[in-house]
């Protein structure tokens, strides 16, 4: 019973869904706070002391706020890095460790020695070039 539950939890789509929930709920507000409290002042310093919330450019009277884009970009990169290093890498390592002892499946196709196309393993003649295939090629 627990073995089936463990396989269900470690399936890729369940982990991906959990990662999406974590990105959307938990880390978004933390990273937004970090960006607003620490990174915006650093950007203000780089921008020459200009008020960061007024960073924008105007084309034909339409303002384009650059500060919102910078905040969203920084938040996205930080959230993606945290999720990758704290969720994706450990889960991939765990799945690789669980599959370490498994034998790879037997091949079902082989290459034709003449045209190098993939043909069934038991074929005696290539369906692409009609060359006889006598030996079992890998």
Specify whether 72 is located in the same domain as 111.
no
In 3D space, the residue among 12, 26, 118, 137 whose CA is nearest the CA of residue 128 turns out to be: 118
Q: Which residues contact 47 (CB under 8 A, 6 or more apart)?
A: 55
Specify whether 89 is located in the same domain as 130.
no
Q: Give me 22's structure tokens.
A: 């974590």
Q: What would the pLDDT profile of 90-135 be if each residue is shown by its tens digit?
A: 888 888 888 787 787 888 888 888 888 898 888 888 888 888 887 6
pLDDT value at 78 more than 60:
yes
Q: Give me 112's structure tokens.
A: 């034709």
Q: How far apart are CA 68 and CA 71, in angstroms?
A: 5
Specify whether 89 is located in the same domain as 23.
yes
pTM recorded for the entire structure: 0.48
In whole angstroms, how far apart are CA 112 and each of 17, 21, 109? 42, 48, 10
- CA 15 distance to own-chain centroid: 12
Supply the angle between the helices 2-9 and 12-22 in degrees, to the nearest 10: 60
Instruction: Quote the radius of gyration of the chain (alpha carbons, Å).
Output: 27
Helix/strand/coil percent split, the chain, to 5: 55, 10, 30
How would residue 4 be classed by pLDDT, with cut points 50, 70 and 90? confident
What CATH number is given to the structural domain containing 60?
1.10.1200
Specify whether 65 is located in the same domain as 112.
no
β strands within 5-47, DSSP E: none
Specify whether 14 is located in the same domain as 38.
yes
Q: What does the mean pLDDT of the chain come to?
A: 78
Total domain count for the chain?
Answer: 2
């Amino acid at each position: 019973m627990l073995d089936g539950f463990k396989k269900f939890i470690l399936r890729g789509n369940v982990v991906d869904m959990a990662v999406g929930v974590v990105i959307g709920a938990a880390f978004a507000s933390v990273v937004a706070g970090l960006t607003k409290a620490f990174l915006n002042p650093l950007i203000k310093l780089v921008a020459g002391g200009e008020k960061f919330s007024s960073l924008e450019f105007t084309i034909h009277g339409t303002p384009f706020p650059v500060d919102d884009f910078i905040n969203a970009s920084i938040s996205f990169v930080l959230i993606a890095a945290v999720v990758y290093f704290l969720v994706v890498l450990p889960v991939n390592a765990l799945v690789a460790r669980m599959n370490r002892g498994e034998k790879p499946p037997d091949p079902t196709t082989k290459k034709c020695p003449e045209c190098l196309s993939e043909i069934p393993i038991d074929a005696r003649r290539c369906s692409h070039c009609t060359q006889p295939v006598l030996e079992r090629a890998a």
